[in-house]
Amino acid sequence: MYSFRNLVMGGVLALSLLAACGSPSGDQAGEPASATEPGAAQPPEVGEPVKPPFAVQGELEGLLIVWFDEQGQHTAKTRAEVPEARREHVRIDSLAVPPDQRLDGDHVYVADLRKPAGDGAYPVQKRTRSWLDGHVQSLLPVPEEPSGDVTLYMASWCGACKAAARYLKSRDVPFVEKDIEKDRAAAAEMQQKAQAAGKTPRGVPVIDFRGNIMLGFDQQGLASLIDQAPAKPNPI
pLDDT digits (tens, 9 = 90+) for 137-176: 888 876 554 445 899 999 999 999 999 999 999 999 999 9
Confidence of residue 46 (pLDDT cuts 50, 70, 90): confident
Select from 157, 149, 170, 155 the least CA-distant residue to 212. 149
**How confident is the model at residue 231, as a pLDDT?**
59
Q: What is the pTM of this model?
A: 0.48
Reply yes or no on whether the pLDDT at 235 is more than 90. Answer: no
Confidence of residue 27 (pLDDT cuts 50, 70, 90): very low
Select from 81, 71, 73, 85 the least CA-distant residue to 114. 85
Percent helix, strand, coil in the chain, to 5, is: 25, 20, 55
42-62 average pLDDT score? 89
Is pLDDT larger for residue 142 or for residue 214? 214
202-206 average pLDDT score? 94
**How confident is the model at residue 42, as a pLDDT?**
53
184: three-class secondary structure by DSSP: helix
Q: Which domains are assigned to the chain? A: 10-43+141-228 (3.40.30.10), 48-138 (no CATH)
**How confident is the model at residue 17, as a pLDDT?**
38
Q: How far is Cα of residue 178 from the mean position of the Cα atoms in its chain?
A: 13
Say which amino acid occupies 76. A
pLDDT digits (tens, 9 = 90+) for 59-105: 999 999 999 998 889 999 999 999 999 999 999 999 999 999 999 99
Pairing label, strands 176-179, 150-154: parallel
Average pLDDT taken over every residue of the chain: 82
**How confident is the model at residue 188, as a pLDDT?**
94
**How confident is the model at residue 102, as a pLDDT?**
92
Reply yes or no on whether the pLDDT at 232 is more than 60. Answer: no
Count CB atoms within 10 A of the CB of residue 110.
22
Reply yes or no on whether the pLDDT at 33 is more than 80. Answer: no
Confidence of residue 123 (pLDDT cuts 50, 70, 90): very high
Confidence of residue 186 (pLDDT cuts 50, 70, 90): very high
